[in-house]
Structure 1
Amino acid sequence: MADIHHQEKLDRIDYATVIAYRSCFVISAIAVACVGFGAASIGIPLLIISALIAAACVHIYDKTIRWFLQASALFAVCLLTAQVFIPLAVGASVAVWCGLSIKEYYCFRIRLIRITPLVLIVFWVCFALPIWQPFFYLVTGLSALLLLTIGIAKFRQPCHFDIGDKSKFQV
């Protein structure tokens, strides 16, 4: 996970995974907006696939946390592929985005990230149990804005911030 004081020598794969990971935050923001504002047939697969790519590209030292994020993303993809329990698939991808948001908060202390998991969970509850539509629009917009904010903040950082010390990764 991030260690901004350690600058590792990065190779092409490191740069590719960091750029893919950061891009997925922006893509997830677009996906959430699509889900909430009438293009769910595009937004749901985009949200789930972006969670899978981000989970595959994340650089986290702890293999248990890395495994949980990747397993949640794969579970979401399996449900989406089988076209069963789509709200659960969206929930699994939201779990990935919540985990990645928490990781970004602990690594970089980017403002507003602390509320991102809570807002994403409320977004998912409103998606899974359509109750009050105006509130769903508000939570959707806020979720998309928070994910986009994280993505923009990540792109402003040097790539080595995401890699940290390669010798600390659990295999």
Structure 2
Amino acid sequence: MANPEFKEDLDVLDKLSVCLYRLGISLFSIGCLLAAALSYEGITLASVTSPFDQWIFWMLLTSTVLSAANIHVYDKTVRTVVMWSGWLALLLVVTGFPTWVSLGFCFVVFSGIALKESFCFRVPGLKLIPVLLVIAVLCTALNKLPVLVALYTTVGGIMGFLSFKKWQMPLHFDIGLKANYQI
């Protein structure tokens, strides 16, 4: 976890990684809101068939990889679980697994991010994100559209507010003290 009271000198790669991490959170929020609109129209991401479905699914997957690859967590084990969940989501899509399985691993990444950020921010509902995302995976697999609309809208709104707050912060807040990272 970063210490906002300490200002580390950031190089270009540090700044880029923080911006990509924040971009991933922003894209995830937008992707969830678009998935809510898709669910409202009677379509789930359980079977991606149209170009618009694919576009939303790939937006969620891209946001996952961006955030997972650039997460800043001191603990090596937590960082590894979050990062590898993101890469596993991508691998499952490439190997032909159902999209809802890949979404499950995307949601593992953002559950970890939500819990990580809940230690730094008092964003209402942030600690509920993991529960909401588990329910969303189940509802996607079971094709429960009305529930998905509510879940994706709630998650998209909470993560959107988090994204808004993150972009207002100085970049060094995300890094903290580099010496504290387990390698």
Q: Same fold (TM over 0.5)?
A: yes
AA matched with 1:7: K
Q: Look up the match of 1:90.
A: 103
- Structure 2: state its 5+ residue gaps: 39-51
Give the 5 Å matches for 1:36-51: 36-38=36-38, 39-51=52-64
Q: Equivalent residue for 2:93?
A: 80
* Cα deviation, residue 158, structure 1: 1.2
Moved more, 139-148 or 107-116: 107-116
Identical counterparts, % of pairs: 27
In 2: Cα distance, 1:34 partner to 1:83 partner:
23
Q: Which residue of 1 aligns with 2:46?
A: none
Write the mapping of 1:10-29 to structure 2, written as runs, cut at 5 A: 10-29=10-29
Of residues 147, 150, 165, the one that matches 1:138 is: 150
CA distance 1:108–1:33, change in 2 (3 Å): closer
**36-45 or 58-67: which moved more?**
36-45
Q: Which residue of the partner structure matches residue 6 of structure 1?
A: 6
- Count of matched residue positions in the alignment of Structure 1 and Structure 2: 170
Residue 66 (str. 1) matches residue 76 (str. 2): no
Is residue 2:30 matched to residue 1:30? yes
Which residue type is aligned with residue 100 of structure 2? P
CA RMSD, Structure 1 to Structure 2 (Å): 1.4
Structure 1, unpaired ranges of 5+: none
User: Secondary structure of the residue that 2:22 maps to in structure 1?
Assistant: helix
Residue identity opposite 2:66 in structure 1 = I
Written as runs of structure 1 = structure 2, the 5 A alignment for 1:120-131 is 120-131=133-144
CA distances 1:89-120 after superposition (whole Å, capped 9, x unpaired)? 00000010000000000133333312222222
Query: Contact (CA 8 Å) 1:34, 1:42: kept in 2 or not?
Result: no
Q: 2:123 touches 2:161 (CA, 8 Å); kept in 1? A: no
* 1:56 CA displacement: 0.8
